[in-house]
Amino acid sequence: MTVGIDTFQYEGVENNKYEELENNKYGLENDKYIGFDNDKYVKIQSEKIKERFGLFDKLYLEVGGKLFDDSHAARILPGFKNDVKISMFKELKDDLEIIFCINAGDIEKNKTRGEYDISYNQELIKLIKNSKKLGFTVNSVVVTLYNNQVSADKFIKKLNRNGIKTYIHRAVKGYPTNVDEIVSEEGYGTNPCIETTKKLILVNAPGPGSGKLATCLSQIYHENLRGVNAGYAKFETFPVWNLSLDHPVNLAYEAATADLKDVNLIDSHHLAKYGVETVNYNRDIETFPILKSILKKVLKRDIYYSPTDMGVNMVGFCITNNDIVEEASKKEIVRRYYNELNNYKMGLCDEDTYKRIKVLMDKLNINEDILDVVKPALETKEKANGRPVIALKIGNKIITGKQSELMTAPGAAIMNALKYLSNIPDDIHLLSPTVLEPILKLKQEMNSGNRLLLSEVLTALSICSVVNPFASKALSFLPKIKNAEAHSTYIVTRGDKTTLKELKVNVTCENEYLDEDL
C-alpha cells in the first residue's frame, strides 16, 4: 500500500491571512472563556429540587427542554455542561422514575426536532434508551391528545412490543376554562391513572406541546383522590426569572422559540403578590390563572401565586462573568437567525419566524459579523472565484476549507483543522489513494455524488491511521473540534450537517444552495 500520498492539495492552513488573534490554540477550553459555575449550579439546583419535593408525599416535576443534551444552554452559558440535568438526577435516581409524553398529533405529522433532524418518535425512543442505560426507572409513555390516529396506534404497538408501558390521554372535557368539569370524573377522571411507586416523578418529552403539564395535573388529581399528598413543580432553565427582560440570555430563549412565538414578559402575578419583578414567558403567564384554580381545586389550598413560584431554576445565581455570557447569547441569536433563514428557504418555517429573530438582533444592535467566522468565509469565497467555502474557528484561529473535486468544503475544513491542531506540516499527506479510490468508485456506482462527504473523509482518515502515524496523530485531535464555530457560504447538505453536529461544531450557513441542490 502506498502511504501518505494525497490526490488533493490541502488549502487554507499555512497561507491563511486570518492568523491567531491570541496565542491560545485551545481557547475554547481556557478558563477565561468560562462565564458559568457548573459545580455551584449542581449544588444549589439539587438543593432546591430536594427542598421542593420535601413539601409533598410525591412530586411531579415537569422537566422542560432537553434532559440529556442541553446544547442551547451550553452555548449561551459557557461552562454549563450539557449533561448537567441528568447528572443531577443521577444522585436521586433511587427515589425517582420517569414518565415520557408525546402528542399523538405530532406522531401523526411525523414532527421533527430541527436541531437533530429526527422525528419526535425517534427522539422519544432515544430518551428511553439513554435513561435505561444510566439506570433510571422509566415508568411509561403517555400518548396525549389521542384521537384514534393510525400512526399513534402503530407507535403504541411498537412501544408495547418492546416492553414499554403506554397510557392514552384524550382531550380533557372542559379544558381549559371549566375548572369544575376538568377536575371531575368526566374530566381528569377519564384518564387512566399511571401507577407510580417513587417519591419524585420526572415528566419529560421530546419537544414542546407534548402534554407534560396536563399529564402532571391528571396524575395529581388521581393521587389526591387516593389520599396521596402529590404536588407539582417545574424545572425550566429558560427564561431566567432573575435576569432582566432584555438580557441576551432571555432574548436567546425567544430566538430559540421563535417558531412557537414565545415572548418574555414580566410575571404580573409575581409582581402583584410580592412586589418583585421577575421574568417568565407569555404562555405560562397567560395560563397561570387556570392552572392555579385547577391546583387549588385538587389540593384544596393555594400552593403557588405565580408562574415564577412554580419553577425551580437557579441558573441566574451561577453566572460568574456576565460579559462572556452576554456575548455568547448574542452569538446564539445570530446562529438562530441563520438557521431560520435556511429553514424558510427550505419551506420549513414561515417568514415571521426569522423576522422575529431579526427584531431581537436590532434590539441588541448586533448583526451577522458578531460571528467571527462569517467575514473570513465570504472573503475566502470571493478570492476563490465563488468556490464553496467553510471557515472554522478553533480557539482563536480561523481555518478555511474549500470544496475540491475530491471532497466537500466541510471535509476540507476539518482536515485542515486537524493538521493545525496536531502541528502536522501542510506538505505531509494523510489520505492514501488506495483508500480513497474505492470509496469514490463506489459512490459513483451508487449515484451518490462525486465528492467525499465529511463522514467519508473521517472514515478514510481512520483507515489510513492504522499504517500512517501522521493520520493517527491527526485523528487523535478530533475531540478538539468540539464547540468550534463554523460558517459555510452555502446551505450545507444534510449528510455533512449531521456529521458537523455530531462533532459538536456550531455551524451557520449563508442562505443559498449549491448549484446541484437547486
Judged against a pLDDT cut of 50, whether residue 472 lies above it is answered with yes
**pLDDT number for residue 15:** 35
- Listed residues 318, 350, 385: the one ending a domain: 318
Report the chain's mean pLDDT, rounded to a whole number: 91
231-273: pLDDT as tens digits = 999 999 999 999 999 999 999 999 999 998 999 999 999 999 9
Residues 469 and 496 in one domain: yes
Structure confidence at residue 24 (pLDDT)? 39
Are 403 and 285 in a shared domain? no
pTM: 0.90
Q: What is the pLDDT of residue 340?
A: 96
| 385 and 347 fall within a common domain | yes
The domain in which residue 506 lies consists of 326-517
pLDDT digits (tens, 9 = 90+) for 161-219: 999 999 999 999 998 889 999 999 999 999 999 999 999 999 999 998 899 999 999 99
Q: What is the pLDDT of residue 183?
A: 96
Q: Check residue 507 and give its pLDDT.
A: 97
Q: Is the pLDDT of residue 8 over 60?
A: no
Tell me which long-range contacts 284-292 makes (C-beta under 8 A, separation of at least 24): 284/310, 287/176, 290/176, 290/177, 290/179, 291/213, 291/217
pLDDT band at 304 (very low <50, low <70, confident <90, very high): very high
- pLDDT of res. 348: 86
Residue 204: closest CA among 17, 60, 420: 60
CATH of the domain at 278: 3.10.630.10
Cell of 177: 376554562
In 10 A of CB 302, how many CB atoms?
A: 11
Co-location of 59 and 205 in the same domain: yes
* Same domain assignment for residues 360 and 314: no
| Predicted confidence band of residue 28 (pLDDT cuts 50, 70, 90) | very low
- Determine the Cα–Cα distance for residues 130 and 121; give it in Å rounded to an integer: 14
More confident of the two residues 517 and 178:
178
Asked if residue 344 and residue 234 are part of one domain, the reply reads no
Is residue 152 located within the same domain as residue 296?
A: yes
Work out the average pLDDT over 120-147: 97
Q: Do 244 and 276 fall into the same domain?
A: yes
User: Looking at residue 2, what is its pLDDT?
Assistant: 28
Which carries the bigger pLDDT value, residue 440 or residue 329? Answer: 329
309 with 376, same domain: the answer is: no
So what's the pLDDT on residue 18? Answer: 37
Question: Which CATH number goes with the domain that contains 385?
Answer: 3.40.140.40
* Grid coordinates given for 180: 369544575
Q: How confident is the model at residue 115 (pLDDT cuts 50, 70, 90)?
A: low
Is the per-residue pLDDT at 388 higher than 90? yes
> Residue 167 to residues 103, 156, 170, 273, 515: CA-CA distances in angstroms?
12, 9, 10, 38, 48
| Length, in residues, of the chain | 518
User: How many CA atoms, within 13 angstroms, populate the side-chain half-sphere of residue 129?
Assistant: 8
Q: Which of 415 and 115 is assigned the larger pLDDT?
A: 415
The sheet with strand 397-402 has its strands ordered as 397-402, 389-394, 485-488, 506-509
How much is the pLDDT for 25? 40
Most confident segment among 28-42, 439-453, 463-477? 463-477
Q: DSSP states of 271-287 as a string?
A: HHHHS---EEEHHHHHH
Query: Domain boundary residue among 282, 297, 318?
Result: 318
400, containing H or E segment: strand 397-402
**How far apart are the C-alpha atoms of 437 and 431, rounded to whole Å?**
11
- The torsion angles phi and psi of 330, rounded to 5 degrees, stand at -60, -40
- Look at phi and psi of residue 163 and say left if phi exceeds 0, alpha if psi is from -120 to 50, else beta: left
User: Does 197 reside within a domain?
Assistant: yes
Helix (H, G, I), strand (E, B) or coil at 399: strand
Q: How far apart are the first and last CA of the chain?
A: 40
Find all residues with CB under 8 Å of 417, minimum gap 6, and list them: 392, 394, 399, 401, 481, 484
Residue 17 lies in a domain: no
Residue given cell 411507586 in the structure block: 197
Query: 67 and 196 in one domain?
Result: yes
Query: In sequence order, what E strands does 38-116 have?
Result: 58-63, 96-103, 112-113
Number of domains in the chain: 2
Give the residue from 302, 318, 334 where a domain finishes: 318
Instruction: Give the pLDDT band (50/70/90) at residue 17.
Output: very low
**Residue 112 near residue 288, CB atoms below 8 Å:** no
Taking residues 366-389, report their average pLDDT: 96
The stretch 288-317 carries a mean pLDDT of: 96
382 and 477 housed in the same domain? yes
Angstrom distance (rounded) from CA 331 to CA 401: 22
370 and 260 assigned to the same domain: no
pLDDT, position 3: 28
Task: Confirm whether 432 is domain-assigned.
Answer: yes
Cell 392552572 belongs to 291
Residue 150: inside a domain, yes or no?
yes
Q: 4 versus 271: which is more confidently predicted?
A: 271
